[in-house]
Amino acid sequence: MKLAAIALRNLARNRRRTVLSLLVIASGTAALLLTAGFVRFSFSGLEDAIIRGGLGHFEVVLEDEAALASTQRAALPRLADWQAVRAAIEAAPQVRAAGGVIQLSGVVGLGDRSSAFLALAVEPDRERRMGFDVKLREGEDLPGEPPAEGADRVLLGLGLARAIGARAGDAVTLMVVTPDGMLNAVDMTVCGLFTSGLQDLDLRLIKLHLASAQRLAETEGVSSIVVGLADGAALEPARAELLRRLSGRNPRLALLDWRSRAPFYGQVRSLYSGIFWFLGGIVFLLVCLSNSSALLMAMMERVREIGTLLALGTSRAGIGALFLSEALWLGLLGALAGDALGLALARVLNALRIEMPPPPGAVSGFPLQLELAPQDFLLATCLMLAVMAVSALLPILRATRLRIVDALGHV
Amino acid sequence: MSSSPILEAVGVHKTYHLGQTSVPALRGVDLVVARGDFVVVVGPSGSGKTTLFNLLGTLDEPDAGRIVFDGTPLASLRESERARLRRRQFGFVFQSFNLVPVLSARENVEYPLWIDGVPAADRARRVAQALESVGLGHRMEHRPDHLSGGERQRVSLARALVHDPVVVLADEPTANLDSKTGRAIVDLLARLSVERGTTFLLATHDPAIVEHAQRTVQLSDGQITADVRR
């Protein structure tokens, strides 16, 4: 004889009520899973977009510039001897590639039209090895090899190109202030138009080869070195290895991970987590109220039986344990059914590839793909067990406070 | 058979309150039950039989007076101690059998041993013996809804006896049975009383039970009006 077996048999007494309770729990579990899948998809999509959009997993900067925002560093490409640093970084086994970066600001002109720009100068061949993607909308990507003097190429953001009326193949003039305060201008050919994914940024952003930017800014240094890892999940071991390789250098270098450079990601994560737990709270409340009522009804139908069990010497804790077991069985069975339902729904929704509208400020939408992880199923199941334990509190309190003679006389 | 008292009621009063109305159920009951007695408590409905049994069986507490079990005043026991006393020293037989519907006959009889932590092998042996002793060895795996009224009451009796209690309290054990089945149950109770030396207290209207009694206590309007030994 086992308490769990007795509890299970008690659930079978009123099958219709039990099935309804299981349906409520399963629906709640599936809703939580789908929400968790969407949130996880959003996080991983955003993480991927941030890293592959040019930020990389790490950025190596001069230690005295580590606290500055990248835009503050733009006019000061002070990291000299950067090829040696890059070689040391690329020798680490976790690193797929590393590339020097210069951030510049200036003015770009075509004919009588001009606009301010923010330039990101990179090593395109290394960016490709790091898996960074350029969302080209017209023309072609920057050449991998450093362009010869007079053959410089530039990619224009869509909004910026529209503002100055530039198309692929046009010649534009880029003008910046050099580190020593002089104005310098270089003519470049627009090899293509691209989007960063953000409308506001597309109004200002251009990309060019690092060698072109160094010619334009009259410098041989870089602002920083961006590092791409082979396995983004192994951030910490890679950090330890890179810190070991970078230690002892003069000037001192700092290693910044992508999270610290993308506060936007943290804000989005906080917002989505808040939404998830808010929805979870609502599901918790609905399942709790619904099942508390069902469990209370089941208890009221068995008042005389509870009186008998107490008369036979069952402790009040024993009576409570019986009702708690019944609630936990409901929670477990309902959650398992909900896990299966959630998984099936997620697969169906993923197969449908429903197109979601563009997020605020973004240029294009994205196909809905729910990402469910094993821990989501565990979390949803544990949450439902907790819901049912809370739901059982009132029935347990009522059952354990019954006077034996009143319970035995209950009709 | 020992004549030492096992249960004593001394000046016991109990009043129920129904809204503004007070209904006295027991009014100064004094009763001494010796170990091994077969006591029948008779009286009309509302005379206080069930109330007296509830108090003697620690299911309720008197408003005044005291109940003493084997020298221990029940009022001095905590609730958990009273539950343990019921689990080990008392057996209960109810008018409506009060079997747990989701448990088989075997499991219903096993229940008092299970909650007392008796090992499974010992439980199995004692349950089989108890059900055999009430003639239900062949119906062990049947659930209550597949048993007749007489069979259910025999299961209830086996449940009351399986843990070898000192006292069995049977409140109207034949009230829901036909006369033939009721007589069979009474014969069984009398036989078990003799065989086991267990103290039996039975509340009844049934004259057939009174025939078996060593002692008959007459209860009327909450007071003992006669106490006859044979």
Per residue in B30-44, pLDDT (tens digit) is 999 998 888 999 998
pLDDT (0 to 100) of residue A249: 83
Same domain? A44 vs A80: no
- pLDDT tens column, B86-119: 999 999 998 888 999 999 999 999 999 999 999 9
Mean pLDDT across B191-207: 84
Residue B178 has pLDDT above 90, yes or no: no
Q: How many domains are contained in chain A?
A: 2
Residue A69 domain flag: yes
Same domain? A280 vs A339: yes
Same domain? A81 vs A10: no
B34-47+79-229 has which fold? Rossmann fold (3.40.50)
Same domain? A43 vs A65: no
Give the closest-approach CA distance of B191 to chain A in angstroms.
Answer: 23
pLDDT tier, B19 (very low <50, low <70, confident <90, very high otherwise): confident
- pLDDT tens column, A80-100: 889 999 999 999 999 999 999
Using a CB–CB cutoff of 8 Å, tell me whether A244 touches chain B.
no
Q: How far is CA A371 from CA A39, A43, A109, A295, A368, in A?
A: 8, 10, 45, 34, 10
d(CA B189, CA B34): 17
User: ipTM, 2 decimals?
Assistant: 0.92
Domain chopping of chain B, boundaries: 34-47+79-229
Higher pLDDT, A43 or B67: B67
Q: Which of A186, A215, A231 is the last residue of a domain?
A: A231
Structural domain boundaries, residue A177 = 58-231
pLDDT (0 to 100) of residue A248: 84
Residue A252 domain flag: no
pLDDT (0 to 100) of residue A236: 92
pLDDT (0 to 100) of residue A359: 66
Q: Which of A231, A254, A289 is the last residue of a domain?
A: A231
pLDDT (0 to 100) of residue A76: 61
Mean pLDDT across B129-152: 90
pLDDT (0 to 100) of residue A72: 62
Give the closest-approach CA distance of B100 to chain A in angstroms.
Answer: 7
Residue A343 has pLDDT above 60, yes or no: yes
Residue A260 domain flag: no
Nearest residue in A to B51, CA atom: A405
Same domain? A62 vs A197: yes
pLDDT (0 to 100) of residue A7: 93
Give the closest-approach CA distance of B50 to chain A in angstroms.
Answer: 10
Q: How many CA atoms lie within 13 A of B93 on its CB side?
A: 30
CB contact under 8 A, A403 and B60: yes
pLDDT (0 to 100) of residue A201: 87
pLDDT (0 to 100) of residue B70: 92
Mean pLDDT across B133-147: 90
Element (H, E) at A283: helix A263-300
CB contact under 8 A, A315 and B103: no
pLDDT tier, A66 (very low <50, low <70, confident <90, very high otherwise): confident
Residue A270 domain flag: yes
pLDDT (0 to 100) of residue B2: 46
Residue A250 domain flag: no
CA dihedral for B123, B129, B130, B131, sign (positive or negative): positive
Same domain? A141 vs A273: no
Residue A143 domain flag: yes
Same domain? A119 vs A84: yes
State chain A's mean pLDDT as an integer.
90
pLDDT (0 to 100) of residue A361: 56
CB contact under 8 A, A10 and B102: yes
DSSP3 helix / strand / coil % (chain B, rounded to 5): 40, 30, 30
CA dihedral for A359, A363, A369, A375, sign (positive or negative): negative
Same domain? A287 vs A402: yes
Mean pLDDT across A244-262: 87
Residue A190 domain flag: yes
Same domain? A318 vs A404: yes
Residue A4 has pLDDT above 70, yes or no: yes
Residue A240 domain flag: no
- pLDDT tens column, A282-321: 988 998 999 999 999 999 999 999 999 999 999 999 999 9
d(CA A339, CA A25): 10
pLDDT (0 to 100) of residue B160: 93
Tokens of B190: 């009398």
d(CA A226, CA A58): 6
CB A17 within 8 A of CB A335: no
Q: Which of A10, A305, A313 sits opposite B86 (nearest CB)?
A: A313
CB B204 within 8 A of CB B174: yes
Nearest residue in B to A302, CA atom: B100
Same domain? A82 vs A213: yes
Using a CB–CB cutoff of 8 Å, tell me whether A315 touches chain B.
yes
d(CA A49, CA A53): 5
pLDDT tier, A268 (very low <50, low <70, confident <90, very high otherwise): confident
CA proximity to B123, closest of B133, B110, B112:
B110
d(CA A160, CA A178): 22
Same domain? A294 vs A388: yes
- Return the minimum-mean-pLDDT range out of A62-76, A256-270, A344-358, B168-182: A62-76
Residue A210 has pLDDT above 50, yes or no: yes
Same domain? A303 vs A274: yes
Q: Which of A305, A308, A312 sits opposite B87 (nearest CB)?
A: A312
**pTM of the shown model:** 0.77
pLDDT (0 to 100) of residue B111: 95
